[in-house]
Structure 1
Amino acid sequence: MDNFVIVTGCSGGGKSTLLQALHERGFATVEEPGRRIVRHQQAVGGTALPWIDLKAFAKEAIRLGQEDRNRMAGHGGWVFFDRSLVDAASALASATGNTAAIEALRKDARYHSRIFAVPPWPEIFANDDERQHDFAAAVEEYHRLAAHYAELGYEWTIIPKAPVEQRAEFVLRALPY
């Protein structure tokens, strides 16, 4: 959908903070599926966690990503997604070596052609209960995502390292009105 805009990129690079700023400006936003999965799995003692069972985690992220798209269908304005089905399919490919889930997105479940990516930013990267990987793994993820989005024909637009309000302005100026 042309009004579905993805914010992706390096873990710990400020995606969630940027989406919060866009939400405060009145835009519809969708929280990252991964964070929701981790919170739920930790609450129930589950194992579909990226550091325990990446394959199960990625499959659940795909399911939630599809639900998010369905829930936001018909929304008339910009909808900003913290990650997307492409991110989830990329995680599944990383876990299994099988890229079928990525290939399935070539025609189905499209988003706006311009993808916004937060780059690796070691000065703000931090671990927490929901993000347990190190910065090197986050950088590897960033490069893997850049390759997968390019394979699917999306325009990878790097968001500058700047205060969040400047980042929000950058994203909004880059979108057609």
Structure 2
Amino acid sequence: MNTKRIVITGGPGTGKTSLINELKNRGFICFDEVSRDVILEARKEGVEQLFLTNPLLFSERLLKGRQLQFKAAETATSSLIFLDRGIPDVLAYMEYANETYPQHFIETSKNHRYDAIFVLAPWETIFESDNERYENFQQAEKIHEHLLATYKKLNYDLTDVPFDSIENRANFLLEKLNLR
């Protein structure tokens, strides 16, 4: 089956997970954000915020997890998979942190192409910090800019998801994909 991989991206606290959960509730197959698992695993190893203490190691783990998700979509029994973030997000966060990274990060992003990218912009009204999110709203805005630049540099067409209720955001996405 030729499964289409649809990425939902944006800075922290933009509603990605809520949108993914809404799509799951509607019966779509969705892959959750990998970074929370990486963060929790690092905490078990005694590191509170791995991205802040060792951004390259954190990003290597993210890259691996997102590659596994990309590959898992190949064997999916659905023609459509939604992903909470894509491989290029790793590059964007490294750029945001002004960190260097190996060439294989770029090659991996180029060699794993997604079918559509939907972007959720920073929205201060819904922004919240939590146990895994260390960024404030101003940092979320900067990360958003790096995400846009990274995906554009990789020649993706980006679709902005408007500020609205979760239900209407999901409807918008599905309409853009001709699924409504």
Per-residue deviation, residues 25-83 of structure 1 (Å, max 9, x unmatched): 11111111111111221233236622222221111100111111122213232100000
The structural deviation recorded for 1:129 is 0.8
Answer with 15-24 or 90-99: which moved more.
Answer: 90-99
SS in 2 for 1:116: strand
Structure 1: stretches of 5+ with no match in the other structure: none
SS in 2 for 1:172: helix
What one-letter code is carried by the residue in structure 2 that aligns with 1:138?
A
SS in 2 for 1:162: coil
Measure, in 1, the Cα distance between the counterparts of 2:118 and 2:124: 19
Measure, in 1, the Cα distance between the counterparts of 2:142 and 2:178: 31
Alignment match, 1:81: 83
Tell me how many residue pairs correspond in the alignment: 176
Q: Does the CA-based 8 Å contact 1:62-1:89 persist in structure 2?
A: no
Measure, in 2, the Cα distance between the counterparts of 1:162 and 1:155: 22
Measure, in 2, the Cα distance between the counterparts of 1:173 and 1:71: 25
Alignment match, 1:103: 106
Q: Does the CA-based 8 Å contact 2:3-2:73 persist in structure 1?
A: no
What TM-score, normalized to structure 2?
0.89
The structural deviation recorded for 1:124 is 0.9
Q: Does the CA-based 8 Å contact 2:88-2:109 persist in structure 1?
A: no
What one-letter code is carried by the residue in structure 1 that aligns with 2:127?
F
Give me the identity figure in percent.
27
Measure, in 2, the Cα distance between the counterparts of 1:81 and 1:89: 17
Measure, in 1, the Cα distance between the counterparts of 2:59 and 2:170: 28
What one-letter code is carried by the residue in structure 2 that aligns with 1:22?
L
- Aligned CA RMSD, in angstroms, stands at 1.9
Measure, in 2, the Cα distance between the counterparts of 1:41 and 1:99: 21
Structure 2: stretches of 5+ with no match in the other structure: none
Per-residue deviation, residues 8-29 of structure 1 (Å, max 9, x unmatched): 0121000000000001111111
Q: Does the CA-based 8 Å contact 2:93-2:146 persist in structure 1?
A: no
Q: Which runs of 4+ in 1 moved over 6 A?
A: none
Q: Does the CA-based 8 Å contact 1:90-1:148 persist in structure 2?
A: yes
